[in-house]
Amino acid sequence: MIYDLGYWRVPLTNRDKHREIMRATYSNLKSKREEYAIISSRLFIMKAESKAFETWLYINAFADETAHAQNVKALDSDTTALTLRKQWELLILAGSFKSEIWTEFAPDLWL
């Protein structure tokens, strides 16, 4: 399995609008499940570290690198997703978005 983790900060002044955009984004993904290769996707919010912003995290699971690449291609060709992404970028703290790809290791060691 491949896990795509992304995290970013949202100024609290943009919190409500950001949540609307995230709901619209996930609604769009759910409505086009056959186009996307995501096995699962979860969103998390870290308790506000300051009175200025909150930190968000997504964890997307894919069967393998091919599935992840298929998902990237689907996102790049989805006009609704692209529009929502542009709106999202205006709401987050500039330069705060980071993304990492992790590969699952040794499932036999899971608890």
Residues 11, 13, 16, 18, CA torsion sign: negative
Model confidence band, residue 57 (pLDDT cutoffs 50, 70, 90): very high
In this structure, of 5-9, 92-96, 107-111, the range with the lowest mean pLDDT score is 107-111
State the CB neighbour count (10 A cutoff) for residue 19.
15
* pLDDT over threshold 90, residue 61: yes
CB distance 4 to 99 below 8 Å: yes
Provide the whole-model pTM. 0.87
Residue 96 phi/psi, 5° resolution? -90, -15
Q: What is the pLDDT of residues 62-73, one digit of tens each?
A: 999 999 999 999
Task: Specify the pLDDT at position 108.
Answer: 85
What pLDDT is attached to residue 96?
97
Work out the average pLDDT over 21-43. 94
Q: Could you tell me where the beta strands, DSSP code E, fall in 1-111?
A: 2-11, 40-46, 53-62, 98-103
| Structural domains present in the chain | 2-104 (3.30.70.100)
